[in-house]
Amino acid sequence: MSFGQMPLANAFLNKKDFSSEYFYKLEPAFCEHCHTFQLTEQPNPRAMFHENYAFFSRTSNYMITHFQQFSHWVIERYLHNKQPFVMEIGSNDGILLENFAHQGIKHLGIEPSANVAEVARQHGVNTECQFFNDELAQQVQQQYGHADAILAANVMCHIPDLHSIGQAVSRLLTPKGVFIFEDPYLGDVLDKTAYDQIYDEHVYLFSAHAVTNIFKPYGLELINLQYQTTHGGSMRYVLARNKQYDIDSSVTKQLTYEQTQGLHKMATYEQFRKNCEHSRDTFTNTLYKKKQQGQQIAGYAATSKSTTVLNYCQIKSDLIDFISDTTAIKQGKFSPGMHIPIYPYETFKENYPDTAVLFAWNHKQEIMAKEAEFAQQGGQWLTHIDL
C-alpha cells in the first residue's frame, strides 16, 4: 500500500530549506514468509539518526516511570549474576539505562544520535555513539564481555538489517542471557487503524509470529511476552538461546490470538488499507467542517507520527494553524512536508484554540491529566483514530 511522497518524520525544518526537502515513497508491505509488516523503501539511517535528532525520550514523564518499572522487572527476573552486564540498543537520552547506572550495574548504551547520547552521559550513562550491528558487537564483546541482558525499546523496528542484529545478539549473550525489546505492536496498529505508526524510522511493525521467525535462524527463541499500553499499544518480547528457559504460556496464547485475528492473511492488510483511506477521508472532512465554522485549530505535539497523518491527508496550515510542542529543537521550525509552524507549548496554553488535534494520542492519559482546563473552557479534542 502507498501513503505517497513522504518527508522524514523528524526532519523539522527552516523556511530556507523548504526547496531542498527530501522525500521518499512511504510504501509498506506485508511479508507472507516472515510475517513482518515492513517498508519497501528505507531512507538511509544516517539521514535520520544524527547530531540533530529531534526525539528525546525524557519529554514524557509517563515514559520515565515506565522505564523505571522496566528496569526493576529486568533486575528481579533476569539479573541473577553477581556482576551482571546490561547493554541497551538505542539508549537515547539514557531514560532506561540510568536506572541501572544509579545502582552501580555495569552497563553500556549504544546510541548513534550524538545530541541525545550526550544527554545520557550527563545522566551518568556510559554511552557509545555508534549504530549497533554485528561488527560493533564484536568490539563490545572484546571490551565488556558477554551480556546478561540486551535491552531495546522502540528501536528494533528502526533497524533495517535485522540479520546483523540476530548475529550480534547471539554473539553477545551469556548462555542464560536474555534479549528483551519492546516496540509498537502490529495487532494494535491494525485494530486502531493507527497508520501513523508507519513512517521512515519504523521500518518494521512486529508481531509474535514475526519475532519468532526473524530470530529463529540465530538460535534464539521467544520465551515470554507482555503487552504494554505505551506508544498506543506495544509488545515486550523476551528471547533467549534455545532450550535455556521454559516457554511461558503468554507466547502460545499470543501466537494463537494472532492466528484468530488473521495477522498472517493478506486479506487483513487489504482491509487495513481500506480502513486507512476511510480514516483519511473522515478526518479531513471533520477538519474542513470545523474550519468552515470559523474555528481555530491547533495541533498538540509535533510527534513523528503526525508527519504521516499530515502528509497522507495533505493537511496544511490553512487547516491547522500551528502545532505546539515541548521539544526545544522543534520549536520555531516547520513540520516536515506540510510546513505547519511549530510553536512552544506556551503558545497553546496562552491561546487556546477551539479544537486541538491530539497528535500525541499515545500520551493521552498524561496529557488529559494536565490539560483539564482546556476542555473546561470549551476546547475540543480531536484525534484521527478512535481511542
* Binding interface with ligand SAH (CB under 6 A): 45, 49, 53, 55, 57, 89-90, 92, 95, 110-113, 116, 131-132, 153-155, 158-159
When CB distances are held under 5 to 8 angstroms depending on the partner's kind, the choice from ligand TMP, ligand SAH, none that residue 116 binds is: ligand SAH
Of 269 and 345, CB closest to ligand TMP: 345
The residue sitting closest to ligand SAH, measured at its beta carbon, is 90
Could you write out the DSSP letters of every residue in 76-139? HHH--SSS-EEEEES-TTSTTTHHHHTTT-EEEEE---HHHHHHHHHTT--EE-S--SHHHHHH
Cα–Cα distance, 326 to 346 (Å, whole number): 9
Q: What's the min distance (Å) between Cβ of 371 and ligand TMP?
A: 8
When CB distances are held under 5 to 8 angstroms depending on the partner's kind, the choice from ligand SAH, ligand TMP, none that residue 90 binds is: ligand SAH
Cα–Cα distance, 384 to 387 (Å, whole number): 9
Q: Which residue has the cell 497528535?
A: 359
Cα–Cα distance, 167 to 219 (Å, whole number): 9
Of 59 and 271, CB closest to ligand TMP: 59
Q: Hey, how many other C-beta atoms are within 10 angstroms of the C-beta on 323?
A: 29
When CB distances are held under 5 to 8 angstroms depending on the partner's kind, the choice from ligand SAH, ligand TMP, none that residue 326 binds is: ligand TMP
Indicate the SS3 state at residue 377.
coil
Strand arrangement, sheet containing 173-184 = 127-128, 106-110, 85-89, 147-153, 173-184, 234-241, 220-228
Please list every residue from 296 through 325 that binds ligand TMP, using CB under 6 A: 301-305, 325
Stretch binding ligand TMP (CB under 6 A), from 145-153, 194-202, 222-230, 362-370: 362-370
When CB distances are held under 5 to 8 angstroms depending on the partner's kind, the choice from ligand SAH, ligand TMP, none that residue 360 binds is: ligand TMP
Does position 119 bind ligand TMP by CB under 6 A?
no
Element (H, E) at 379: none
Q: What's the min distance (Å) between Cβ of 106 and ligand TMP?
A: 29
Please list every residue from 56 through 75 that binds ligand TMP, using CB under 6 A: 59-60
Please list every residue from 178 through 197 that binds ligand TMP, using CB under 6 A: none
Q: Specify the DSSP class assigned to residue 320.
A: -
Of 66 and 290, CB closest to ligand TMP: 66
Output the CA–CA distances (angstroms, integers) from residue 337 to 11, 229, 276, 311, in the order listed.
Answer: 9, 30, 19, 6
Does position 280 bind ligand TMP by CB under 6 A?
no
C-alpha cell at 122: 550527563
Cα–Cα distance, 46 to 263 (Å, whole number): 32
Of 105 and 360, CB closest to ligand TMP: 360
Q: What's the min distance (Å) between Cβ of 95 and ligand TMP?
A: 11
Of 189 and 251, CB closest to ligand TMP: 189
When CB distances are held under 5 to 8 angstroms depending on the partner's kind, the choice from ligand TMP, ligand SAH, none that residue 112 binds is: ligand SAH
Could you write out the DSSP letters of every residue in 35-79? --EEESS---HHHHSSTT----GGG-HHHHHHHHHHHHHHHHHH-
Of 71 and 362, CB closest to ligand TMP: 362
Cα–Cα distance, 222 to 204 (Å, whole number): 18
Of 329 and 382, CB closest to ligand SAH: 329
When CB distances are held under 5 to 8 angstroms depending on the partner's kind, the choice from ligand TMP, ligand SAH, none that residue 113 binds is: ligand SAH
Decide if 279 contacts 385 (C-beta within 8 A). yes
Indicate the SS3 state at residue 319.
coil
Q: 263, 265, 273, 216: which is closest to 235 by C-alpha?
A: 263
Binding mask 26-55 for ligand TMP (x = CB under 6 A): -----------------------------x
Of 99 and 304, CB closest to ligand TMP: 304
When CB distances are held under 5 to 8 angstroms depending on the partner's kind, the choice from ligand SAH, ligand TMP, none that residue 371 binds is: none
Of 7 and 90, CB closest to ligand SAH: 90
What are the residues binding ligand TMP (CB under 6 A)?
55, 59-60, 301-305, 325-327, 345, 360, 362-363, 366-367
